[in-house]
Structure 1
Amino acid sequence: MAEQDWLSERFAEHQGRLRAMAYRMLGSPGEAEDAVQEAWLRVSRADTDQVENPAGWLTTVVARVCLNMLQARRAQREESAGALPPEPDVDVHPTGRAGPEDEALLSDSVGVALMVVLETLTPAERLAFVLHDVFAVPFGEIGAVIDRSPAAARQLASRARRRVQGAADASDAARSAKREIVAAFLAASRNGDFAALLELLDPDAAVGEVRGGQAVAAFFAGRAQAARLALVDGVPGAVWTHRGRPKAVFTFTVDDRKITRITIDTDPDRLGDLDVVFLPAGGRERR
């Protein structure tokens, strides 16, 4: 009983980190929770007499569970290669919202671009990158999890890192270009510059029931006086506030440097969950 109590205490002590690690490797809070629960079943039946480093041991167990899940996921995709592939599981705010630990986990990521790239890595590459670059696990321990040498684990992490960095650079460039387009749209809207709005809008642009570049330009000309350029969950958009609270969020779909759709969200529950970073000229202001 004393040994089981000790094990339960050690597992509870490290559970937050284990769940965060599984979340980054699997990309889904639900699957991360399943992995942690499976790891607990394994460690609860294990002989702990030789365990000298509980944190490292638990990390290894969870990593192996995640590796098995990633390999099974990859095998399932290969089996269904003849059918249309499913959309990548890249929703960083899925139904059943992640908790504070999960939100903190993704705060240093490059968002959807990173998740898409992680989905393209082999299970061993993904595990090596996440364990080393995010959680500072030594390559010797990583190699033991994936049955490779420390040098091979280092190579896997390096290969994954190059691909992730490429995604980060592409994401930053796309975000910067979109920010310029949204800023230009807001300026043209405030100034009632119909010609400038038409230049920014796709001929088939839409906002709600208003369709067509001409109609959308007419709808926004002279408006958006109080809307401010902002990052909304990390994506350039616009926000209208009243007494310091967001009342409307404008999100923009951009294709080939043309705005194809503008969505206006006024639902207070959804707006309250958004991370809004205002982008005034010359600085940043966080709500």
Structure 2
Amino acid sequence: MAGAKTGTDAVFERHRARAFGVAYRILGSASDAEDVVQEAWFRWRGSDISAIRNPEAWLVTTVARLGIDQLRAARARRETYVGSWLPEPIVTAARETDPTPEERLSLADDISMALLHVLERLAPEERAAFLLHDAFDYDYGELAALLGKSEAACRQTVSRARKRVQDAHPRFDTSAREHLRLANAFSAAIASADPQALIDCLSEDVIFYSDGGGKAIAALNPLFGPDHVTRFFMGILKKRPQNFVTLPATVNGLPGFVMQDDAGVHAALGFGVSDGRISTLYMIRNPDKLTRIEPR
């Protein structure tokens, strides 16, 4: 009996990463995604595993349904959120080489800060349908079963969501190496508190989003243009603590950096790059969204 239980556990663990990926993309929150996967685990343990023909499909469907319900509840909280709401970042060690096309697709194309930020404009079912179809290859029959709608209705939902994403999603036209160069240059400009070096990294139409959640200094509204963005950074740098450092990191699949001191990590920054300059900046300072980042 114990062996059978261990076997079912192994099946779940084999698909855990994919389940987390679905939940994170739907919710934009790693901590909420972990809660959803944990709930799916409890349901898995309480199910008749022998009756589940395709464990991966069962798990993705369960996580998607739980994610939609969780997102509906989260929407009410996000409407009263202080300032801009940005996704909880996934931060890993910085890359020193360009990713392969396959790695770039899996790492960045569907978890980038830019895309997750745009997905906040979609209704929960739209978001889930778009992601499951375009990122996880669900067909319309599978979506219909998941959402309780006709295939035609699901096709319309995905088409509408895709158009909204394409219309709003900024297009970045740079290599990973160029992106890394700019991330490092901007990080160095922050570390040295050099306003001209900051300006030199930014495009004329740069947009800066910052998320403090009312718990850390952040701009309540997006900032536009290099002068406004530079003034913001120079303002917070005047109050930087001792032993403040910027460290390169991969933020949602693309080069970025974290800011930390002896007390721990207090910001993660991601970028969008166009025409050799940073065109979009995402800065997460809400401490609740930085708990998964290990200080170095």
Indicate the TM-score class for this superposition, using the shorter chain for normalisation: 0.5 to 0.7
Alignment of 1:46-65 (within 5 A): 46-65=47-66
Alignment of 1:141-156 (within 5 A): 141-156=142-157
The structural deviation recorded for 1:60 is 1.0
Separation in 1, partners of 2:224, 2:47: 56
| Preserved contact between residue 19 and residue 63 of structure 2 (Cα < 8 Å) | yes
| Preserved contact between residue 87 and residue 117 of structure 2 (Cα < 8 Å) | no
Instruction: Classify 1:238/1:85 alpha carbon distance in 2 versus 1 (closer, same or farther; 3 Å).
Output: closer
Instruction: Classify 1:90/1:151 alpha carbon distance in 2 versus 1 (closer, same or farther; 3 Å).
Output: same
Matched, 1:125 2:93: no
Instruction: Classify 1:251/1:107 alpha carbon distance in 2 versus 1 (closer, same or farther; 3 Å).
Output: farther
Separation in 2, partners of 1:125, 1:234: 34
- For normalisation by structure 1, the TM-score amounts to 0.60
| Preserved contact between residue 128 and residue 154 of structure 1 (Cα < 8 Å) | no
SS at match of 1:159: helix
Separation in 2, partners of 1:273, 1:98: 6
Matched, 1:271 2:247: yes
Runs of 4+ with >6 A deviation: 233-237, 264-268
2:86 corresponds to which residue? 90
1:191 corresponds to which residue? none
User: Please, what is the CA RMSD of the aligned residues?
Assistant: 4.1
| Preserved contact between residue 26 and residue 131 of structure 2 (Cα < 8 Å) | yes
The answer to which structure, 1 or 2, has the higher relative contact order (CA under 8 A, 6+ apart) is 2
Alignment of 1:1-287 (within 5 A): 1=1, 2-74=3-75, 76-77=76-77, 84-93=80-89, 97=91, 107-109=108-110, 111-168=112-169, 171-172=170-171, 231=179, 238=186, 250-252=197-199, 254=206, 257=225, 259-262=227-230, 263=233, 270-273=246-249, 275=255
Separation in 1, partners of 2:74, 2:149: 21
Separation in 1, partners of 2:150, 2:184: 43
Q: Deviations over 1:89-136 (max 9, x none)?
A: 324537xx4699xx9855114844422321121111010011111111
Separation in 2, partners of 1:149, 1:73: 27
The structural deviation recorded for 1:139 is 1.9
- For normalisation by structure 2, the TM-score amounts to 0.58
The structural deviation recorded for 1:238 is 4.2
Task: In structure 1, list runs of 5 or more residues that go unmatched.
Answer: 180-228, 283-287
The structural deviation recorded for 1:24 is 0.7
Separation in 1, partners of 2:247, 2:39: 36
Separation in 2, partners of 1:34, 1:273: 25
Separation in 2, partners of 1:240, 1:116: 26
The structural deviation recorded for 1:235 is 7.0
Task: In structure 2, list runs of 5 or more residues that go unmatched.
Answer: 95-103, 207-222, 257-270, 277-296
Paired AA for residue 67 in structure 2: C
Instruction: Classify 1:235/1:112 alpha carbon distance in 2 versus 1 (closer, same or farther; 3 Å).
Output: farther
Percent identity over the alignment is: 32
Separation in 2, partners of 1:271, 1:154: 44
Instruction: Classify 1:21/1:3 alpha carbon distance in 2 versus 1 (closer, same or farther; 3 Å).
Output: same
Q: Deviations over 1:193-231 (max 9, x none)?
A: xxxxxxxxxxxxxxxxxxxxxxxxxxxxxxxxxxxx964
Select the structure of larger CA radius of gyration.
1
Separation in 2, partners of 1:21, 1:137: 12
Size of the aligned set, in residue pairs, is 212
Paired AA for residue 162 in structure 1: K
The structural deviation recorded for 1:154 is 1.8
Separation in 2, partners of 1:99, 1:58: 29
SS at match of 1:148: coil
